[in-house]
Amino acid sequence: MTPFPSEAPHRRFNPLKGEWVLVSPHRNLRPWQGKQESAAITQHPAHDPGCYLCAGNRRNSGAVNPDYRGPYVFENDFPALLSDNPSGGTQGDPLFRAANVRGTARVICFSERHDLTLAELGTPGIRKVVDCWADQIEDLGAAYDWVAIFENKGAIMGCSQPHPHGQIWASDFLPNEVAREDECQRRHLSETGTVLLVDYAAAESAQAERVVIENDDWIAVVPWWAVWPFETLVLPRRHVLRLPDLTGTERDGLADLLGRLCSRYDNLFETEFPYTMGWHGAPTAAGRWDHWQLHAHFYPPLLRSATVRKFMVGYELLSEAQRDLTPEQAAERLRSLPDQHFKSTSRAGAAR
């Protein structure tokens, strides 16, 4: 690859979405007098009698959770998609198009523990979550074209429920982001004969500049085209279409990598690091999807500290995405952090 002055303003291309991002590393020198988020860490109990998601508790819909252990999935009490929605859509003026859609939504509690996020759940606990994700894709994918698995972590990401959990939405259509990735991956296979993200994972591993964590089966990188300050992309090394296709060994490796990655996020600013994360795999609709590669996106908003976030406003909304530190700088900061969670270190010190 031809070198360029990475400290100078430049644009980088995202082949997965066919978009550019503006990189302006010199802006990190500017003073910040804008909004700062609270950095307080709330100490949660292992079980909260007032939590709608804890085992044995009553939800605000009136339903009572079972005394579950490990991951627990239930139908969302307030779903964004409905399975019995009538078919149909608008006719006539193409400027005012609409179409009815069908789908369903579920909630997945990662475990019965109210106080353990993925960063602290441990590899065996995360492995159970991985298996649950895969089972849900198989179940819902039999009836729907697309199954979205995601987590919003932290109040600044819109999460109003502190019990560690994620969501699963299934739909009879491909959402915009998925359709865009589908088109770009399909084009790459047609033009090169190879799978875009398989090529990309191998290239990132060889260069090592943006690698945060890797093991025998997985790699986590700050992608070349990252938009969010500490954004990461999680990729399997071999060609895999969907989570259910993973072997037992690959699921163990994924659980290991996710725990280490989430711990490093928390360790960066010694806070419960907020993010939106989600899995993208081949659609479950009928068709050929060999151009797809399974991957997970982590989109965290924090920029300079636990109290300063990146805002997507102004130029980002009206022109194109822009970031202030290079992906290489972000990867180096995450890579240099320990795997052990900072709370574990603090507890060990207090015990002494």
The CA distance from 314 to 326, in Å, is 20
Average pLDDT over residues 88-110: 93
44 is catalytic: no
Average pLDDT over residues 51-56: 96
Q: Is 114 annotated as a binding residue?
A: yes
Query: Catalytic residue among 26, 44, 47, 165, which?
Result: 165
Residue scoring higher pLDDT (174 or 159): 174
pLDDT at 222: 98
Close Cβ partners of 98 (under 8 Å, ≥ 6 residues apart): 89, 90
Q: What is the pLDDT of residues 176-199, one digit of tens each?
A: 999 999 999 999 999 999 999 999
Average pLDDT over residues 300-322: 88
Q: Do residues 215 and 253 make contact, with C-beta atoms less than 8 angstroms apart?
A: yes
The residue extents of the domains of the chain are 43-351
Q: How high does pLDDT run on average in the chain? A: 91
pLDDT at 159: 81
Report the relative pairing of strands 308-309 and 321-323 from DSSP bridges. Answer: unpaired
Q: Is 280 annotated as a binding residue?
A: yes
Q: How confident is the model at residue 39 (pLDDT cuts 50, 70, 90)?
A: low
pLDDT at 3: 54
Q: How confident is the model at residue 56 (pLDDT cuts 50, 70, 90)?
A: very high
Q: Is 163 annotated as a binding residue?
A: yes
Average pLDDT over residues 136-141: 98
Q: What is the pLDDT of residues 258-289, one digit of tens each?
A: 999 999 999 999 999 999 999 999 999 999 99
pLDDT at 25: 86
Determine the 3-state secondary structure of 299 from DSSP. strand
**Within 10 A of 248 (CB to CB), how many other CB atoms are there?**
9
Q: Is 295 annotated as a binding residue?
A: yes
* 31 has pLDDT over 60: no
The CA distance from 237 to 240, in Å, is 8
Least trusted range by pLDDT, from 35-49, 139-153, 260-274, 276-290: 35-49
Q: Is 44 annotated as a binding residue?
A: no
Q: Is 188 annotated as a binding residue?
A: no
For domain 43-351, which architecture applies?
2-Layer Sandwich (3.30)
pLDDT at 5: 55
Q: Is 204 annotated as a binding residue?
A: no
